[in-house]
Amino acid sequence: MTIGVLFVCTANTCRSPMAEGVFRTLARRAGLEQAFAIASAGTRANAGEAPTPAAVAAAARRGYDIVSQRSRTLTREDIAAADYVLAMDRSHLAALRVLAPCAKVGGLQMLTKFGPTPGILDVQDPYGGTQQDYERALDLIEAACKGLLVALAEEAKASIVS
Q: What is the rounded CA–CA span in Å between residue 2 and residue 8?
A: 19
Residues in the chain: 162
Residue tagged active-site, from 15, 72, 78, 89:
15
**DSSP character string of 48-76:** TPPPPHHHHHHHHHTT---TT----B--H
Q: What are the phi and psi torsion angles at 42 (to 5°)?
A: -120, 150
Please confirm, yes or no, whether 133 is among the known catalytic residues: no
Torsion of CA 91, 40, 155, 148, to 10 degrees: -50
**136 closest CA partner among 151, 122, 118:** 122
Listed in sequence order, the residues at least 6 apart from 97 whose beta carbon sits closer than 8 Å to its beta carbon are 105, 108
Residue tagged active-site, from 83, 125, 133, 139:
125
42 beta partners: 9, 73
Please confirm, yes or no, whether 76 is among the known catalytic residues: no
Please confirm, yes or no, whether 125 is among the known catalytic residues: yes
The residues annotated as belonging to the active site are 9, 15, 125
